[in-house]
Amino acid sequence: MALRERLMVEPGKAVMLADWDPADKLDFKKDDDHEALAKSLGRLDELQYLLYAERRHALLVVLQGMDAAGKDSTIRHVMSGFNPQGCRVTAFKTPTPEEAEHDFLWRVHRAVPLKGDVAIFNRSHYEDVLIARVRTLVPKEVWSRRYEQINQFEALLKESGTTIVKVFLHISKDEQKIRFEERLKDPTKQWKIAPGDFDDRKQWDEYMAAYEDALARCSTDAAPWFIVPADRKWVRNLTVSHLLVETLEGLHMKSPEPSFDPSAIKLE
């Protein structure tokens, strides 16, 4: 069974995150993780070249997860396989005053990739049914409508040639505690943690319920969700890299034909 099939949230099916093991090794072996990751990154480089040359598709990678799940690290270790000339990362933080004056998808639509390019979202429009829900930033009547609005938005992107890979980095509460403690002790990592992170941890169960609803209600044929075990960093990196390779290979891309006859060119 392909990795995509193992990790995909079946559209229309309820999600219980307790049924998904965040420490699962997924048959990967630690002894050859460096070699396996290097091989995947090399293949990503080849596939991105075809993506850019063909310019028929775009790739959007959405990374979601609790604090310390490894969104930044995944971008650093896995997305290094992409040529930065055709890849843009957008981190969605608190909306600016201008963004707040528009609908919640306005700032997201501006960041989607051009055909031939790759875009990576560090957090995304899903914050508007996660943190907005848990912290009661908007009424339930507002955030509850957003699931279908998101589905329609992602269907539009798919119809326009954008392939969407949505990854939920599934970390356990115990592993998050370990990583928080490491950050608190390491002066070079203390900047990565904020008091609000501890507040979110206190509402762990509420966030899990919000994620379960988002995963279940917004995993569609056009844009399915994938649940990636994130307690083991090396497994997380290998898994995401393999997911991207499988996705891009599934586009069956090939080098375009030249617009002229190369054999007619005579170099002196």
Quote the CA–CA distance of 53 and 47 in Å, as a whole number: 10
In tens digits, the chain (268 residues) has pLDDT values of: 689 999 999 999 999 999 999 999 999 999 889 999 999 999 999 999 999 999 999 999 999 999 999 999 999 999 888 999 999 999 999 999 999 999 999 999 999 999 999 999 999 999 999 999 999 999 999 999 999 999 999 999 999 999 999 999 999 999 999 999 999 999 998 998 888 888 899 999 999 999 999 999 999 999 999 999 999 999 999 999 999 999 999 999 999 988 888 888 888 8
Quote the CA–CA distance of 253 and 51 in Å, as a whole number: 7
For the record, the structure tokens of 168 come out as: 């939920």
Tens digit of each residue's pLDDT (9 = 90 or more) over 82-137: 999 999 999 999 999 999 999 999 999 999 999 999 999 999 999 999 999 999 99
Give the CA angle between residues 36, 179, 181 to the nearest 5°: 155
Does any domain span residue 257?
no
Confidence at residue 1, expressed as pLDDT on a 0 to 100 scale: 67
Q: Which residues of 1-15 are buried (b: 16+ CB within 10 A; e: fewer)?
A: eebeeebbbeeeeeb
Does any domain span residue 264?
no
Give the total number of structural domains in the chain.
1
Does any domain span residue 216?
yes
DSSP 8-class letter at 81: G
Q: Give the CATH number of the domain where residue 84 resides.
A: 3.40.50.300
Does any domain span residue 169?
yes
Single pTM value for the model: 0.95
- Determine how many CB atoms are found less than 10 A away from the CB of residue 117: 21
- Please, which residues bridge with residue 163 across strands? 59
Query: Which domain does 143 fall in, by range?
Result: 3-252
Does any domain span residue 164?
yes
Does any domain span residue 178?
yes
Does any domain span residue 268?
no
Spatial neighbors of 211 by CB under 8 A, at least 6 apart, are: 15, 17, 64, 130, 168
Does any domain span residue 267?
no
